[in-house]
Amino acid sequence: MMGELQYLMIVLDGAAPSFCYYDAAKYDTGVIPLETLERGLEFAAKHSLGVTAIYGLESLPDEHRRLLDAAAHVKIVPYREGATFSGDELVVWDASQDALFPHRLPEREITHLVVVIRLQDTLRLYSFIENNHRHFKRMSVIFKGMEDADEIVLNDFRLALQKLQPLLFRILSREQFTEIGFATDRLMLGEMNSCNAGATHVTLAPDGNFYICPGFYHDDCSPVGSLDSGIHIKNRRLYELSRAPVCLRCDCYQCKRCVYLNKKTTWEVNTPSHAQCVASHHERNLSGMLLEKLQNRGLMVNLPEISPLFYLDPMEI
């Protein structure tokens, strides 16, 4: 098992903001104990795992910072007004509860910005992208509320993407354009590029237990091991793409294929919900239409076309 894992995510603070579909900090468990962090870093080093650390809003104690500074790791940090971010930080802005969104970002560059927004608020991205796309090299968007989305919400999502298309086309027509995940990822990918929680990475929580991902921890799901007992994932092959028959044949390569959402909505980690599939196909269709327009302008002509489909959910066929 350990030979197949590639990295370990460490939740440094129980109140760290969510960077994915789960709701974070239902309860504040506080900063990870120093001993747990030390043992987690030792565990990663022993098994040749990369480390991704999820930071909270509060500053870490000096002892924690010294430990982390001595270990190579990727940082997932919350967006903070006035803060300056380094190039190796993935910056998360949870705008799903922000009544003032969209904001205009300060004149400072962010390498990779993750915006978390409600699916119903997709159109609010227009002003945000228009005003701020020059301030980041890449923007990923997590559309929250997928588990509750009905056909009306999903159709509104399609219409919102349609209205975003002219703005995205203008951005992509430039020689140096900003990557905007839901629109540009499918242009560049030739195979599935999903989360792979449980297959290539697991999460160490402040309680000293391992979980499939932070979402499983925040949802009070059963752990898959501990620092004392090691990692033991039941039916672990089910987390691999090869054991996801619907996803294996799908070409929505940009889809997160979120096992947390799968488990929450279908009770199967390898089976996505109708809403997750439909939303991903709307993104795919957006990318296809953008690519066609760009190639008509003589741009991105070396990229393979994204052919139209006659369905939105592979389960329908």
Of residues 107 and 80, more confidence is placed in 80
What is the average pLDDT score of the chain?
A: 92
Q: How far is CA 268 from the centre of its chain?
A: 20
Dump pLDDT digits (tens) for 226-265: 999 999 999 999 999 999 988 998 999 999 999 999 999 9
Dump pLDDT digits (tens) for 273-304: 999 999 999 999 999 999 999 999 999 999 99
Check whether 29 has a pLDDT greater than 80: no
> Which residues are within 8 A (CB) of 195 and not within 5 positions of it... i.e. 6 or more apart?
20, 213, 256, 257, 258, 259
Dump pLDDT digits (tens) for 94-110: 888 787 788 887 767 88
Grouping H, G, I as helix, E, B as strand and the rest as coil, residue 248 is: helix
pLDDT band at 88 (very low <50, low <70, confident <90, very high): confident
> Which residues are within 8 A (CB) of 44 and not within 5 positions of it... i.e. 6 or more apart?
7, 8, 50, 51, 71
C-alpha to C-alpha distances, 147 to 234, 266, 291, 311, nearest whole angstrom: 24, 10, 29, 20
pLDDT band at 202 (very low <50, low <70, confident <90, very high): very high
Q: How do the domains of the chain map onto residue ranges? A: 7-194+274-316
Of residues 176 and 156, more confidence is placed in 156
Give this prediction's pTM: 0.93
Output the six-digit token pair for 181.
Answer: 């995940």
